[in-house]
A and B are shown apart, each in its own frame.
Chain A
């Protein structure tokens, strides 16, 4: 858009300027000057009427005098900021002291104009204010569009990217299960490798989708409670050994009668299964994993400890960064997306908990998660809640 020239007209939509001044001469001259520049102008002799009109018309610009009977300029500014924080306010003031100007700007005015002023001074300030308003609106529109696109992209990925991968993996799974004897040896080997690589890709997509859901606020629900003891028991029971895992035994120790914690079982389940699967993946052959649940100071504490390769000290601070993976001889063959711990951290933060890690390279790693206890929820109440939650999740 061409920038408005000093005497050119600005034939636009949304070009209403409200002028509030108790001095009729000021009102008339402002109106005349601004109409010539292409603005629509409505003038009001007092704050109340002007504010009422602003509430109805949502104009981009307000010119307001500071010294008025009844409502003064500062009061008007305070009230209209509550109606529309994007309204661009220009203050005109008869006593052009630095103090009043500063006060006006502090109260939320965009600019000020000392009386007396020339027509071109008023035009310049109003044009600049209008441009500011236009840019604000443009930025808001772009932000909304960006959010919309992101949301659509997530849906697109779910369906358009995942569905073909799922179909291909399904073919390979059945091929190897039902028709293995018809495949040449090389064929069977390559199909098996393809399954693993496809599985890696599906995991990346799933992790990425989980993060997108957390961002949109569509995953973590801290208004419900979960019976974490039975959730953990169930996950340990169902946990499939990750591909290439090395005969690791899991030992669980669950304190009896643990209370429920805040959060939905889906997102808490993501945390538990990610930590346990890491403890298996980064273990050594024949290693052990201990999963412990206990209560302490208003929290349920989940500890996942392993006898694995450990995390070098300089990698610890970066552990919860997106796509960060510890690079070493030992980890290079372990599949992973670098998103699992990011998901854990995000979920736990959303649910008001905390996660800490202790590790010694070559000895093992312990993750300690604390989730706030949901008071006064009995197990049966929680179970009801728990069963009614999955319907809302998508």
Chain B
């Protein structure tokens, strides 16, 4: 009945992208991927995904942070749920940032490698509780 939900992965590791793409596709999501922040922003604007998975340390150590801030300044993407997935959270198990924290406005942080069950569960939850994301798509 409804179109499959769209997930955008922004990550510079092609193998990580491959694995997570397979996971999401096997759960019925439509997946696209970008290898850097710039390409990611472009795809996010043109495809209006329902969820974005974002790496932090790509070519630049903090590329993900800036990408996220830029996403939040882009009309139509200000409320799209974003999960930051990075191995820096695995080193520091309680690297905690509240979602309201202005400097890193992600909805959720997950350690990398990401637990498949946890990712699917959180993805479902975030897409269900993000009315503005679908609102953004209706604007088109």
* Cβ of A7 to closest chain B Cβ, rounded Å: 57
- Report which B residues bind A (CB closer than 8 A): 13, 15-16, 18-20, 22-23, 26-27, 57, 61, 87-88, 90-98, 101, 103-104, 112-117
| B120, closest chain A residue (CB) | A177
Q: Are A167 and B13 in contact (CB under 8 A)?
A: yes
Tell me the complex Cα distance, A248–B91, Å: 25
Query: Which of A83-91, A304-312, A385-393 forms contacts with chain B?
Result: A385-393
Q: Are A169 and B113 in contact (CB under 8 A)?
A: yes
* Cβ of B135 to closest chain A Cβ, rounded Å: 29
B-side interface mostly = loop
Q: Are B96 and A171 in contact (CB under 8 A)?
A: no
Q: Using a Cβ–Cβ cut-off of 8 Å, how many residues does chain A contribute to the interface with B? A: 33
Q: Are A269 and B16 in contact (CB under 8 A)?
A: no
Our pick among B19, B87, B97 for the contact of A171 (Cβ within 8 Å) is B19
| Interface members, chain A 155-194 (any B CB < 8 Å) | 159, 162-163, 166-171, 173-175, 177-179
Q: Are A206 and B112 in contact (CB under 8 A)?
A: no
Note all chain A residues with C-beta closer than 8 A to B13: 163, 166-167
Q: Are A179 and B93 in contact (CB under 8 A)?
A: no
* Cβ of A302 to closest chain B Cβ, rounded Å: 15
Q: Are A265 and B94 in contact (CB under 8 A)?
A: yes
Given A235-B94, A238-B93, A394-B61, 9 more A-B residue pairs with CB atoms under 8 Å apart are: A163-B87, A166-B112, A166-B113, A168-B15, A169-B113, A171-B18, A171-B19, A173-B114, A178-B116
Note all chain A residues with C-beta closer than 8 A to B87: 162-163, 166
Tell me the complex Cα distance, A171–B34, Å: 18
Tell me the complex Cα distance, A166–B101, Å: 28
Tell me the complex Cα distance, A265–B92, Å: 10
| Interface members, chain A 294-350 (any B CB < 8 Å) | none
Our pick among B88, B98, B103, B117 for the contact of A177 (Cβ within 8 Å) is B117
Given A170-B113, A177-B116, the answer on whether A393 and B26 have CB atoms closer than 8 Å is: no
Note all chain B residues with C-beta closer than 8 A to A202: 90
A-side interface mostly = helix
- Report which A residues bind B (CB closer than 8 A): 159, 162-163, 166-171, 173-175, 177-179, 202, 206, 209-210, 231, 234-235, 238, 265-266, 269-270, 273, 387, 390-391, 393-394
Q: What are 8 A-B residue pairs whose CB atoms fall within 8 Å in the complex?
A: A163-B13, A173-B19, A178-B23, A209-B91, A269-B92, A390-B96, A390-B97, A391-B103
Note all chain B residues with C-beta closer than 8 A to A171: 15, 18-19
Q: Are A174 and B15 in contact (CB under 8 A)?
A: no
* Cβ of B31 to closest chain A Cβ, rounded Å: 13
Tell me the complex Cα distance, A179–B19, Å: 11
Q: Are B93 and A394 in contact (CB under 8 A)?
A: no
Given A170-B20, A174-B20, the answer on whether A266 and B115 have CB atoms closer than 8 Å is: no
Q: Are A170 and B93 in contact (CB under 8 A)?
A: no
Our pick among A159, A177, A273 for the contact of B93 (Cβ within 8 Å) is A273
Note all chain A residues with C-beta closer than 8 A to B16: 166-167, 170
Q: Are B88 and A394 in contact (CB under 8 A)?
A: yes
Given A159-B57, A393-B95, the answer on whether A174 and B116 have CB atoms closer than 8 Å is: yes
